[in-house]
Amino acid sequence: MSSTTYSASPWNVNQLPGADGRVFLVTGGNAGIGYFVAEQLSATGATVVLGSRSPARAEVAMASIRARVPGSRVRTVLLDLADLSSLGTAVESLETERLDAVVHNAGVALDDPPRQETGDGHELMFGTNHLGHFALTQWLMPLLSAAPAARVVTMGSFAAKSERLDLDDLQSQKDYEPKRTYGRSKLAQMYFSVELDRRLRAAGSTVASVVVHPGGALDSLTPSRPPVHVRTAGARLRATPAALLVQGKHAGAWPAVRAVLDPAVRGGQLWGPRVFGLRGEPRREPVWDHLADLSVAARLWDASRDLTGTDLGVISG
């Protein structure tokens, strides 16, 4: 079934609908896919807030967007998802009465051991990528609920498709392997997104939760945005064969941008690249079988609530 089934007209990644007056937050908006999500959303007339743990990098990204998108309304907020106690202050500093969408994009990936922990004592990737966004959503819910039809868009990963959660070892205390732990942290985020939408629907909320993934997104196929990202001619040439299968991070941003902007996108859906889930324009795809396991999602939710000390208000039941 084509994506045009879900829209009145075909989606064009180069001609986005206007979003004047709306406010969007992109976590990790200073680099990688998050930067391109923010840059593309800035072209719609919306106010885009870059959430970043590095004020210096956020300023550089903001300057880059302003240079490429004249008249863009972009600003920054200090956001450290590895520090749960700081999230309330971060949300207060948004200084907005409503939030029309948040893109849960920020994340850390560790290529090599050893296992690291956040200041709260959580394994760093699980604690930042999943638990930080879980807790942030609680703080944002009043602002999201104040918007007419807000979206929580969670950036998953194709790496999560082959992973399964170990509910008895969510923090990889017994069995830590960096790539697997990263994939599981992203899978936990995706479970959270699906379960969040189920609870929002049960509560009659106007907020929708959508999960997306960028497919295969490589720096070497990503256009330069100096000094945020610089691609050399050599890297571009070496990556040419890979372009048949994967894409750059600017294209990896497309599913998230569509999930924020397209009124035909619905909560609980999964969106990714069109071609084998790895590259191309964004389309809706079937929710992966293991993501549909409600018992795993419920157990993860309860564990996340206990680990973060948060309870997502009207959607806690």
pLDDT digits (tens, 9 = 90+) for 257-302: 999 999 999 999 999 999 999 999 999 999 999 999 999 999 999 9
R_g of the chain, CA atoms, integer Å: 18
Residue reference for tokens 């990688």: 32
Closest by alpha carbon to 82, among 116, 32, 38? Answer: 116
pLDDT in tens, 74-101: 999 999 999 999 999 999 999 999 999 9
Question: pLDDT tens-digit profile of 11-39?
Answer: 999 999 999 999 999 999 999 999 999 99
Cα–Cα nearest to 272, from 101, 192, 156:
156
- Which tokens hold the place of 104? 């849960």
Is 176 tagged catalytic? no
From the list 6, 35, 182, 191, the catalytic residue is: 182
d(CA 245, CA 197) in angstroms, rounded, equals 31
Query: In 3-state terms, the chain is what percent helix, strand and coil (to 5)?
Result: 45, 15, 40
Model pTM score: 0.93
What are the backbone dihedrals phi and psi of residue 103, each rounded to the nearest 5 degrees, phi first?
-105, 110
Task: Tell me what pLDDT residue 243 has.
Answer: 67
Q: Are 30 and 228 in contact (CB under 8 A)?
A: yes
Beta bridge partners of 210: 153
At 63, phi and psi to the nearest 5?
-65, -40
